[in-house]
């Protein structure tokens, strides 16, 4: 039986495997099947053109690369030829790289900002930025919202533009950097050490404001982003070693043990929660007047306590907190940079009611009573020296800490230097 003729084998070309790119923006498109963000419709193309305009303006944000990236976005739009998938994909990636670079600039925290919780830090990963952008139902509106950052940032930038500025000065750049970490929405409190005020926000809108007293030029209040979870009623005041040296030791040397009793001070065995009271006679007060070391002195709750009725702590590693105060007269002063770093509240009861949802603070005689809030409330301690003036143009309101254009000073203010900075 004759053998069947061999069937010719036709070689089928095999597409080269696509290797995951190392560039984070290109990797985003690789992982999401090259789904377009900018070039999927006429509306999104218009948004990409809007991005070009934002980038040309972005020198006012301190983003020096903005104009060059705007030109690249324009070139990418021009080269995205209909029917040419590869050219369109390349253009898409170029536009996204420009957008990510701008967003990462706007989401860079200022030097010296301490995060009590990392979850409060802005999202700067390219994939996070692009996922949020792609999910927006109106891409053009999303670009405006995300580039405005928050109402305070927008007002500063718009005031600078109204004044005819096109490039950020060192002073403006410092203020924009500090302002851009604030939220755009939600419920939060902002302490502005620049003008010594505390503002309460709900749904991103200011609903109440009060005066505060903040750190002096020598004992500056650092920038902090954290969350308040509880309030301490009738708190002990932990005296910083610097004040033990300056006030307590000389007082004991002059007035003896009676000075401590009269002012409600007691000496503790150490800085832990298990510390016990030790006899004042065991302390070498003359030596403390020269070097306080790590000795712990605290003041009992009562009518003389420097924290008065309330202490409002939040994690930061800086031992900075909000608190009530006995001396209300200083809130009438124009310059309220008077404390050793902590923040004194003009009306602690009112702030407690806002924190707790209009529930009055309970009356108690017990010491260090912790009252948990129904939910955590974000708090931001910042420092602003410029604002939109009555004419809508940028106006300065003074730089008491000398931070403008000096990020090194901002960083120095956040350096923790003692067992407790809990001085009022």
Q: Delimit the domains of the chain by residue range.
A: 24-148, 157-236+301-413, 237-299
| The pLDDT of residue 271 | 82
Region 13-31 average pLDDT: 84
| The pLDDT of residue 8 | 59
| The pLDDT of residue 358 | 82
Q: What is the pLDDT of residues 127-162, one digit of tens each?
A: 999 999 999 999 999 999 999 999 999 999 999 999
| The pLDDT of residue 159 | 97
29 has pLDDT over 50: yes
| The pLDDT of residue 294 | 72
| The pLDDT of residue 318 | 87
Better-scored residue on pLDDT, 15 or 138: 138
Region 342-348 average pLDDT: 97
Which CATH number is 157-236+301-413's, of 2.40.440.10, 2.40.110.10, 1.10.1030.10, 3.30.565.10?
Answer: 2.40.440.10
Region 70-85 average pLDDT: 92
Max avg pLDDT among 1-10, 121-130, 248-257:
121-130
Q: What is the pLDDT of residues 395-408, one digit of tens each?
A: 999 999 999 999 99
**Average pLDDT value for the chain:** 91
| The pLDDT of residue 194 | 97
Name the pTM for this structure.
Answer: 0.89
Closest of 344, 245, 346 to residue 293, by C-alpha: 245
Max avg pLDDT among 176-180, 251-255, 291-295:
176-180
Q: 3-state SS of the chain?
A: CCCCCCCCCCCCCCCCCCCCCCCHHHHHHHHCCCCCCCCCCHHHHHHHHHHHHHHHHHHHHCCCCHHHHHHHHHHHHHHCCCCCHHHHHHHHHHHHHHHHHHHHHHCCCCCCCEECCHHHCCCCCHHHHHHHHHCCCCHHHHHHHHHHCCHHHHHHHHHHHHCCCCCCCHHHHHHHHHHCCCCCCCCEEEEECCCCEEEEEECCEEEEEEEEEEECCCCCCCCEEEEEEEEEECCCEEECHHHHHHHHHHHHHHHCHHHHHHHCEEEECCCCCCCCEECHHHCCHHHHCCCCCCCEEEECCCCCCCCCCEEECCCCCCCCCEECCCCCHHHHCCCCEEECCCEEECCHHHHHHHHHCCCCCCCCCCCCEEEEEEEEEEEEEECCCEEECCCCCEEECCCCCCCCCCHHHHHHHCCCCCCCCCCC
């Amino acid at each position: 039986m004759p053998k069947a003729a061999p069937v010719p084998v036709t070689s089928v070309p095999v597409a080269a495997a696509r290797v995951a790119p190392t560039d984070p923006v290109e990797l985003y498109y690789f992982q999401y099947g090259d789904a377009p963000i900018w070039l999927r419709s006429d509306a999104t193309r218009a948004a990409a053109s809007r991005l070009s305009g934002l980038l040309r303006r972005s020198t006012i944000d301190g983003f020096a690369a903005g104009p060059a990236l705007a030109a690249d976005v324009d070139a990418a739009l021009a080269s995205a030829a209909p029917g040419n998938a590869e050219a369109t994909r390349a253009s898409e990636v170029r536009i996204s790289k420009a957008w990510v670079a701008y967003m990462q600039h706007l989401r860079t925290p200022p030097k010296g900002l301490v995060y009590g919780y990392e979850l409060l830090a802005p999202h700067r990963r390219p994939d996070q930025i692009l996922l949020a952008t792609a999910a927006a139902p109106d891409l053009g509106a999303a670009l405006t919202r995300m580039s405005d950052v928050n109402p305070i940032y927008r007002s500063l930038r718009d005031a600078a533009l109204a004044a005819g500025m096109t490039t950020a000065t060192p002073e403006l750049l410092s203020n924009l950097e500090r302002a851009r970490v604030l939220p755009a929405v939600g419920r939060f409190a902002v302490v502005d050490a620049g003008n010594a005020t505390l503002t309460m926000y709900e749904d991103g809108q200011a609903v109440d404001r009060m005066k505060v007293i903040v750190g002096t030029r020598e004992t500056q209040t650092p920038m902090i982003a954290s969350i308040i979870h509880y309030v301490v009623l009738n708190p002990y005041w932990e005296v910083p070693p610097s004040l033990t040296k300056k006030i307590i030791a000389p007082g004991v040397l002059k007035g003896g043990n009676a000075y401590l009793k009269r002012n409600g001070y007691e000496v503790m065995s150490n800085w832990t929660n298990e510390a016990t009271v030790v006899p004042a006679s065991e302390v070498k007060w003359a030596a403390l007047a020269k070097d306080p070391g790590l000795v712990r002195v605290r003041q009992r709750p009562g009518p003389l306590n420097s924290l008065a009725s309330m202490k409002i702590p939040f994690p930061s590693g800086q031992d900075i907190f909000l608190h009530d105060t006995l001396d209300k007269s200083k809130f009438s002063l124009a310059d309220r940079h008077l404390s050793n770093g902590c923040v004194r509240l003009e009306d602690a009861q009112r702030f407690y009611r806002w924190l707790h949802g209009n529930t009055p603070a309970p009356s108690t005689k017990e010491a260090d009573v912790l009252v948990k809030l129904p939910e955590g409330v974000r708090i931001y301690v910042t420092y602003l020296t410029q604002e939109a003036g009555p004419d809508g143009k940028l106006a300065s309101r003074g730089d008491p800490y000398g931070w403008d254009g000096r990020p090194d000073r901002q960083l120095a203010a956040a350096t923790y230097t003692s067992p407790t900075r809990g001085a009022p």
